[in-house]
Chains A and B, each alone.
Chain A
Amino acid sequence: MQDTLSARADPAGNLYGARVIAPGATVDGIGTLVAEIALRGVAGPGWRIACAGALGLAILGFAAGVAGSGRPLAGPIGLAAYEFWFGLASGSLLLTAVLRLAGAEWHAAIGRVAEAVALACACAAMACAAGGMTSATHGGTTPAAGGAVSAADLRSVLAPHGVGGLALLVVSLCAWSIGLLPDLAVLRGRAIEAATPAVSASIAGAGKRSDRLRLRLVAGWRGSAGQWRSWIAGSRAIALLGVIVVVAATAEQATILAATVPAVGTLLPVSLLVGAVLSGLGCVAALAAGLRSGFGLHDLITARHLDILARTMLAAGIGALYCRAGAIGTTLLRGDDAALSVLARRLAGDGAWTFWAFVAGTLLPVQLFWLGSIRRSGLAIGLIGTLLAAGIGIDLYGTMLGPPQAGGASSAAAGSALVPASALFLGTAGIAVLVLLLHLRFLPVVSIAETRRLAIAHNPGAVPAAGTAPAEAALGRVPCRSVSAAFSSEKALAAAVAALDGRDARIRVDGCGPVPMPDVAEWLGGGTAPLRIAAIGGALLGGFGFLALMSGHRTGVAFPLVDGQPPLAWPFLFMPSLAAAAMTGALAVVAALIPRMLERQAGTVSCEPSMDVACFVLTAALPEGADPRWIERRLIAHPDTGLRPIAIRREPS
């Protein structure tokens, strides 16, 4: 593969406008490279040791935090841990969602990494919430260190101000799983191709559990134009809902902080969002640099990817600088005595080290990306990205400290909760790392479908074009069930479908390919209206349902789920309702999408379900006794020889 995909970006030159896919990348080569990692990959002792370590960390962390010490769980570390994981998940999800919606080409190789980071960090955030670390805030009290975990604390995950975290987890899971669907089909096809006859037989029966699971997950995926269109529409809908959930959940977190931490300023929601994007970018960049180096993915995650990630981190870092300077400047010029004392404490008091650690770990290192040599170094990007995320986490801890006289957790209280809260933080870190390790081991680390699309768009030889269609004289009248024809491009397939326009209504035509085919889908008809209706309907149902549930509580109707929570006014409920709407909208999209993805269609021969299709294939299912020559003549008679099929095959009756 390294020989096949040999061309790389020049590390010494200017990377502006450089390619985001190697010139030699082909559809087949990409499938082989990425599937090889998932099927054979990293299951060595190193991976097992890392998994065991992460699992042990998770178990020991929770044991020490919950059962061991019996100390209070809520505190600045616990709250900062929740905000930290929440921010990482939000930033990663927002990154991949915005890039997908904007149609940025470089998203192809980075999106899967960002989706995996979002899912892993959302799991860790929910583990924080479930562990009771945020119970005080979610229960409506100040974040003082006190109170043990109770059933009410655990229920608080579903209470108004916990729905943001849950929605983030659900939407991250939806984005990640929908993105994986076509790639799982590629893995299945590769697993079958690579298997010996004996093993091949076992795949359907008693083969490896992971292979059997993959087979069942994508049993009906054929890579048809309709499936691709639904997949694109569903991915974009979930991306849009992801943006909504990130904004709503972050604003919700800001309201919680504004209610509990004094003098936070109105810039806080933007500051939290920028911090989340910066930390998410740092984590994604570090992971991408590691994958590129560790798995030899230089041709898919190019130097230009690292360059763009570094530039984006620089832009987000400048945004973080603006937010911090704006908040400090406003306080200095217009703040009252209380706000000035909070600022003085933040800059020179007990918690001042957190602010200066943020400056030294985040605001200053990111400026190194002005240097081209730093932007081109995977090691530097990995280190700085990790540093950025850590700096943001420390800053969140400093924000949670707050002044002791104003309701924030005092240093003494923070100290008393230091050991259990730190143990719990390490436990949640173990969960996040474990999820990422499992993803790296069993699933494609880079989106095969999207990188293939990029390769086809930029590399003329990405799809095999060998072979020639038979001459018309060679066509005989032999009855058959279907005719299939292979093409070297989507354009040729679309032309073929157009050539069959006006055919016998009983002939069912379909097109399959390794990448989305909008032109073919347009010719074949159909639409994505059901997905839109599902998304909008699901969102409206979830949003208004949540609002009704909470409003009912406000007017005195008791609901077990929210019983015991303080009364809520509508501004408090708006953002949680929006997050709930995005969550249910995403679930509705997945529910509407899955049947379309997995539907089996009789009569398709060359587009076998769950096989990895390396070129563009047209299949025409014929009625009983129909003459296949009409179809074959239309296909090979195209005036442009480049649009004719490279092979035609009949499936006997």
Chain B
Amino acid sequence: MTRAPRTARAFFLDPRRRPAIGLTIGLTALAAALLVGGAPALAVSYLPAWLCLVALPAGALPVAIMFERADAWRPQPETALLETLRGLLALMPVAAVLALPILFALPVLYPWARGAAQPNALAAIWFTTPALVLRLAFAFAAWTGLALLFARRGGEPWGKAGRMDDGRAVLGLGLHAVLGSLVAGDLVMAVSERFPSSLAGLLLMASWSSLALAAAILVAPPDVGPARRRLDRLTPLAVLLAIWAALHFVQFLVAWTADLPGAAMWYRARDTGEGRALSVLAGAVVVLALLLTLKPGENRTRLVAALALVVHGLELAWFVTPSIRGSFKLTLTDLLALAVVAGLALALLPQARRLFPGPAAGRPPGSSAQGPAAGPAAPRHGSR
């Protein structure tokens, strides 16, 4: 029998109270956001906040697959971080449930839902509410299936400790790419009809993966072992950040070179003081990450991860809100919406974890049902 916590900090960190605390925070923030900005403003702020949530499992999925494949080449597996990434996959059903409010805000968010003319007959069929609901249902069903599959080591059936097969990895990554592109096109790029970017899917998936890895680095327990043999967690994050920055830049470069009027308008809406500051900050974080790979360390890695988390959170708002508000600026409603999503996610997480039984999803064998935020698996070096 466990004793009741005696301090306020221990009270709030108690995993048993976390759902109730999360629900309280979420509902309070919801009421505050409605009071401050009203329902339309909350709808606009809710979308990027929800994107931050979905980025955790959707971004963790390809990184977990790649880490597990890379472990096949390495003498020492990265168990602690990998277990944390697998733990993030349990958020996929939560993100699916919390996507429901977006469906009720379609006219606020998307021009096609307000009756804007579509360029051709196919688009007129594609951009309708029933078609969108069907696509999202398919996407989240498939994503949850992938999360259930890859939350276990090797994606093997329940309880079987296996190895990652190349075919399974390729199929998982391929399906994830399709799903990510669908969701990015439907929920992110559709807020503006001006810029038909075919690169947006890859760009958002890179952003999600970078965000998820940064979050996992912050949450995962530190690597153990002799300093010389410690696994470098900064290099994968720096590589992801570099890929993400390169994709951003080439998208701008191609759009600018091809002189696309729609793209020019899209970028102009984001060319505010805050937008430029975000660009400078993002560039600085990427350069810092690349430079620190020359001499990585635990604290330096966590610093870069924290900065990357902030940049990606802002970036997701940068993607969505200027197309509706006319320019990029942060509001109090944006922060409250983030609190709403975080609180509700915390409340729903224990229910979602029931779908992920066994020693998978970030829990060490024998522990109680807790998420990665509650304490991911202890490192199990050499457990391969």
Contacts and interface: CB of A to CB of B under 8 A. Distances in A.
A332 B254 contact: no
Contacts of B73: 102-105
B138 interface: no
Interface string B228-257: 000000000000000000110111111111
A334 interface: yes
Contacts of A1: none
A308 to B, nearest CB: 9
Nearest to A252: B253
A63 interface: no
A267 B196 CA distance: 11
Given A102-B73, A269-B250, A333 B197 contact: no
Nearest to B228: A522
A333 B250 contact: no
Given A255-B257, A258-B258, A266 B251 contact: yes
Contacts of A327: 198
Given A270-B202, A334-B193, A574-B249, A264 B294 contact: no
Interface residues of A, number: 43
Contacts of A258: 253-254, 257-258
A322 interface: yes
Interface in A423-476: none
Interface residues of B, number: 42
A315 interface: yes
A311 B181 contact: no
Nearest to A267: B198
B199 A314 contact: no
B165 interface: yes
A574 B250 CA distance: 11
B contacts with A: majority SS:
helix
Interface in A313-357: 314-315, 318, 322, 326-327, 329-336, 339-340
A315 B169 CA distance: 10
B252 A259 contact: no
A315 B66 CA distance: 13
Contacts of B294: 532
Nearest to B125: A333
B142 interface: no
Given A334-B196, A336-B119, A268 B254 contact: yes
Given A16-B166, A269-B250, A571-B253, A259 B196 contact: no
A331 B197 CA distance: 9
A127 to B, nearest CB: 27
Contact of A266 (B70, B174, B199): B199
A643 interface: no
Nearest to A575: B253
B57 to A, nearest CB: 21
Contacts of B299: none
A265 interface: yes
A335 B202 CA distance: 19
A330 B254 contact: no
A550 interface: no
A288 interface: no
A contacts with B: majority SS:
helix
Contacts of A311: 166, 170
A322 B165 contact: no
B70 A102 contact: yes
Given A255-B257, A571-B252, A326 B170 contact: no
B12 interface: no
Interface string A255-296: 100110010111111100000000000000000000000000
A141 to B, nearest CB: 15
Contacts of B200: 266
A311 B249 CA distance: 30
Of B119, B123, B253, B256, most A-chain CB atoms within 10 Å: B253
B126 interface: yes
A241 interface: no
A38 B202 CA distance: 45
A80 interface: no
Nearest to B165: A16
Contacts of B166: 16, 311
B132 to A, nearest CB: 13
Contacts of A169: none
A405 to B, nearest CB: 17
Interface in B104-149: 119-120, 122-123, 126-127
Contacts of B253: 251, 254-255, 258, 269, 571, 574-575
Nearest to B255: A266
Contacts of B177: 322
A322 B254 contact: no
A318 B170 contact: yes
Given A105-B73, A333-B126, A270 B199 contact: yes
B365 interface: no
B68 to A, nearest CB: 14
B167 interface: yes
B31 interface: no
A267 B193 contact: no
A340 B123 CA distance: 13
Contacts of A265: 198-199, 254
A574 B185 CA distance: 29
Of B127, B249, B256, B257, most A-chain CB atoms within 10 Å: B257
3 A-B pairs with least C-beta separation: A334-B196, A267-B198, A330-B198
Interface of A: 16-17, 102-105, 247, 251, 254-255, 258-259, 262, 264-270, 311, 314-315, 318, 322, 326-327, 329-336, 339-340, 370, 532, 571-572, 574-575
29 contacts: A102-B73, A104-B73, A254-B254, A255-B254, A258-B258, A259-B257, A265-B198, A265-B254, A266-B255, A268-B254, A270-B202, A270-B250, A318-B174, A322-B178, A326-B198, A326-B201, A327-B198, A330-B197, A331-B196, A331-B198, A332-B120, A333-B122, A333-B123, A333-B127, A334-B193, A335-B196, A340-B120, A571-B257, A574-B249
Given A258-B253, A268-B254, 10 more contacts: A258-B258, A266-B199, A266-B254, A269-B250, A270-B202, A333-B126, A333-B196, A334-B119, A335-B119, A571-B257
